[in-house]
Amino acid sequence: MGGLWEAGFKSTKFHLKRVLGTTPLNFEEFSTLLCEIEACLNSRPLCPASNNPEDITALSPSHFLNLGPSSTIIEPNYTDLKLNRMSRWQLIQRLLQEFWNRWNFEYLTRLQQRPKWWAHHPNFKVGTLVLLKDNRLAPQQWHLARIIEVYPGDDDAVRVVKVRTASGEYKRNIEKICALPFAEEEED
């Protein structure tokens, strides 16, 4: 019991160790970094907020903890700045951004795991809420989209979809989208 959040702790600790390395942080800096990481982890979308096909919002753990989505100020990207030229706040933001890049990549890859080509897997359906993969997003930012059209190949396997986001409609390869973790259970 509790395997799901224990796996989350394991993943968090793994990436936190890699990001921190031997960086010396005092108690306040470390607790600030942990609070920022907590906000990132609790911002991840879990399932659609409604069955309305026009709605492009998803519930996240922060909806239950804070009674609403978490909000954050988007900081500039500090990952390319030299360490000796940073203030302590910039250092914490850089560590957070490095953690986010590592953790987000692993999380989306885990959501997107597909069986072998010869094994049958369900196709994406019109109306499904999905995450768009984007490596340039700031911490706590997620691109959500609703599938409005599917384009099956000769073998009836969906390879390309047309999605609607808050900013417009786009065609995306299915390798650039991920289903939400609990969306399938809701549709069954």
Q: Is residue 155 helix, strand or coil?
A: coil
Q: What is the pLDDT of residue 4?
A: 65
Q: What is the pLDDT of residue 187?
A: 45
Using CA atoms, how far apart are residues 157 and 85, in angstroms rounded to an integer? 51
Cβ contacts of 116 within 8 Å, gap of 6 or more: none
Cβ contacts of 50 within 8 Å, gap of 6 or more: 57
> pLDDT under 70 in the chain at which residues?
1-5, 68-71, 73, 83, 85, 114-120, 183-188
Q: What is the pTM of this model?
A: 0.80
Using CA atoms, how far apart are residues 13 and 62, in angstroms rounded to an integer? 20
Q: What is the pLDDT of residue 62?
A: 84
Residues in the chain: 188
